[in-house]
Structure 1
Amino acid sequence: MTGIERLAKALVWIVAAATVVFLMTPLAVAVAVSFGSSAVFTLPAPGWSLRWYEALGRSRDLWAAVATSAEIAALSTVIALVLGTLAAIGLVRGSFRGREAIVTFLVSPLMLPGLVVGIAMLEAFRGMGLRHVWASLMVAHVVITLPYVVRTVYAALALFDFTLIDAARTLGLSYPRAVLAVLVPALAPAFITSGMFAFLASMDNYPISIFFTDAWTKTLPIQMLQYVEESPDPTIAAISTLLILLAGAVLVVGDRLVGLRRMADL
C-alpha cells in the first residue's frame, strides 16, 4: 500500500468517525439529560436521578398517545405487509407496460417531503368525505409504510426462483401449500425487515400525523411536541431515551432473526 493510499484510508476513517460522533452526540445528550436531577435541560447534571422516568409513568396523556401510536403502527404494518406483498408479486410476475412507473409510484411517499404528502392526503380525504380521525390516521400510515414493504419484498422476489413452486407442486403439494412451503420461508427475511422499518416509521411519524390528529386522538410524536410547548422538562428526554431503546431493540431482533448485513442487502 502506497503512502497516498494509506493517507486516503486514514481520511476515510476520520470522516466516518466524525460522522458517527456528529449523529450520535444528540442521542447521548438526550440519554444523559433523562437521568439528571435538574428540572431543566442541564449538562453536566448536578445529580443523577430516575425522577423523570417516574414522572413519565404517571403521565396518562403520554401513555394514551403511546397506545394510539402502537395500535396504528401495528395495524398499518400488517396491512402494508399484505398489500405490499401482493403488489410486489404482481409487479414481479406480471408483464405489462408501465411496471417500473408503478414501482416508482408506490415508493414515491419516501421521495416526497412529509408535509407535502400530508397536505395532499388531507385534501383527498376531505374530498372523499373521510373525516374520522382514527380511520384517517390508519389510512395515512398505511400509505407511508407501504413503500418499505414494496421496495423490500420486490427486491427479494426479483431474486426468487419461481420454478421452485412448480417443483413443489410436482411433489404433490397444492398451489397454496406450495406457496406457503416454498415462497413464504424464502421471503421471511424481507417480511421481517420491511415490517420492522415500517413499524418504526409509523411510530416516529410527525409531518403526516399532524394533519389527522385532534384533541382526543394523538400519536406519540404529536403529544411529545405539545409536551415540549407546554411543560418542557427532562421527561421528554426520558421518552426519547425509551424510543432510542426501542430502535436498538428492533435492530437487535433483526440481527438475530435476519442479520444486519442481509437487512442492508434487502
Structure 2
Amino acid sequence: MRRLGLAVAWIALGAAVVFLLAPLVVTAGVSLSPSRVFELPEGAISWRWYERIPRLDGLWESVILSFQVAAIATAVSLVLGTMAAIAVVRGTFPGREAIATFLVSPLMLPGLVIGIAMLQSFRAVGLRDPTAALLIAHVVIVLPFVVRTLTAGLSLFDFALIDAARTLGLSYPAAVLKVMVPVLSPSFITGGLFGFLASLDNYPISIFLTDVYHRTLPIQLLQYLGESPDPTVAAVSTLIIALTAVVLVIGDRLVGLDRMAGV
C-alpha cells in the first residue's frame, strides 16, 4: 500500500507539472512556427516572429512603462513592507493579526474587484494621472509579497542582535542596516523578485487605470491580439517566460529555491 501510495503521488505530481508547463511549451513552439496562424511548427522552425518584435507599434513604450512601474512599486513596497512587518511582528497593539491579514488581502481578492474599487476611489479623490494611479495600484499588488516574506523572516530574527549592536556604539538605524538587513536579505530578495514579476505581469487591475497613451505590456499584448493576431504575440510571451526563468535562476543563485519557497 505504501508503494502504491507513492506511485499515485508521483503520478499526480507528474500530471500537475505537465498541466502547468504544457501552455508554456506550446507558446514557445508557436513562436517558432513559420505559419501566420497559431499552430505548432511542422518540420522547419522560423525566427520571423522574433525579428518582427522591434517593429511592433507601441511595444517599447509599454515595456519601458511596465518596467518603470514595477521597479518603483517594488522599491516603495520594500520600504513600506519592512516597516509594516516589523510593526506586526514586534507590536503588541490590539488587532495586530487583523492588520496582518489586511496587508495580504489583495492576494485573496479577485483582481477585477480591486481594479474597479481603485478606479472609483481615484475618481472620487480627483486622481486623473494614469502613471500615478498605476504606481499606487502596483504598490498594493506588490506589498503582500513583501509583507508575507518579511513577516516570516522577522519571526525567526533575534532582535537581541540589534540591542547588541547598539551597545557597541551603533545608532538604531545603523544597527538595522548593518545587522538586520543582511540577515533578512533572502526575504528582501524573494519578496522583491516575486513582487516585481507580479507587477510586470498584472492585467486585471491595470486595465482599469491605463489610457491610450499609457499601456502596460500585458494590455498592449491584448491589443495586438484584437487588432492583428499572429505568432508575434507568442514570441513576446516567450521572452517574458524566459525573463521569469532568468529571475528564478538569479533567485536560486542568490538565495536558493528552498528558501525562496519558504522550505
TM-score, scaled to structure 2: 0.98
Equivalent residue, structure 2, for 1:251: 248
Equivalent residue, structure 1, for 2:9: 12
Structure 2 residue 143 is the aligned partner of structure 1 residue 137: no
Correspondence 1:182 to 2:179: yes
Q: Distance in 2 between matches of 1:78 and 1:10?
A: 45
Q: Which residue does 1:209 correspond to in 2?
A: 206
C-alpha separation between the residues in 2 aligned to 1:64 and 1:209? 15
The residue aligned with 1:117 is: 114
Q: SS of 1:135's equivalent?
A: helix
Unaligned runs of 5+ in 1: none
* Separation in 2, partners of 1:223, 1:45: 29
Residues 180-202 of structure 1, C-alpha deviations (whole Å, 9 max, x = no match): 11111011110000000000000
Q: Which amino acid aligns with 1:151?
A: R
- Look up the equivalent residue of 1:206 and give its one-letter code: Y
Q: 4+ residue runs of structure 1 moved beyond 6 angstroms?
A: none
Aligned counterparts of 2:42 and 2:241: Cα–Cα separation in 1:
20
- How many angstroms apart in 2 are the aligned matches of 1:262 and 1:147? 18
1:160-183: CA deviation from partner (whole Å, max 9, x where unpaired): 100011111222222222111111
Local SS of the residue matching 2:261: helix
Report the Cα offset of residue 92 of structure 1: 1.3
Residues 100-115 of structure 1 correspond to what in structure 2 (within 5 A)?
A: 100-115=97-112
Following superposition of structure 1 onto structure 2, how do residues 43-82 of structure 1 map, counting pairs within 5 Å?
43-45=40-42, 47-82=44-79
The amino acid of 1:229's aligned partner reads: G
Over the matched positions of the two proteins, sequence identity in percent amounts to 63
Give 1:17-36 correspondences, 5 Å limit.
17-36=14-33
Cα distance in 1 for partners of 2:154, 2:69 equals: 27
- Deviation of 1:45 (Å): 3.4
Q: How does 1:255-266 map to 2 (within 5 A)?
A: 255-265=252-262
Structure 2: distance between partners of 1:46 and 1:210? 39
Give the secondary-structure state (helix, strand or coil) at the position aligned to 2:58.
Answer: helix
Residues 38 and 45 of structure 1 are in contact (CA less than 8 Å); yes or no, is this contact kept in structure 2? Answer: no
The Cα RMSD (Å) is 1.0
Task: Provide the rounded CA distance (Å) in 2 between the counterparts of 1:165 and 1:80.
Answer: 23
> How many equivalent pairs are there?
263
Whole-angstrom CA distance in 2 between matches of 1:132 and 1:93:
37
Distance (whole Å) between structure 1 residues aligned to residue 246 and residue 68 of structure 2: 19
Q: Quick check: 1:35–1:49 contact (8 Å CA) kept in 2? A: yes
Task: Provide the rounded CA distance (Å) in 2 between the counterparts of 1:136 and 1:83.
Answer: 18
What residue is the counterpart of 1:200 in the other structure?
Answer: 197
1:171 aligns with: 168
User: CA offsets per residue over residues 111-170 of structure 1, 9 Å max, x none?
Assistant: 000000101111111111111111101101011111111111111111110001111122
* Partners of 2:34 and 2:41 within 8 A in 1: no
Contact 1:145–1:198 (CA under 8 A) maintained in structure 2: yes
Give the TM-score taking structure 1 as reference length: 0.97
Q: Which moved more, 1:52-61 or 1:211-220?
A: 52-61
Change (3 A) 1:46 1:215: farther
Structure 1 residue 46, shift from structure 2 partner = 5.4
Q: Determine whether 1:126 maps to 2:123.
A: yes
Aligned equivalents of 1:83, 1:176: Cα separation in 2: 15
Q: Tell me the SS of whatever aligns to 1:265.
A: coil
Cα distance in structure 1, aligned partners of 2:217 and 2:241: 14
SS of the residue 2:127 aligns to: coil
2:216 to 219, 224, 242: 219
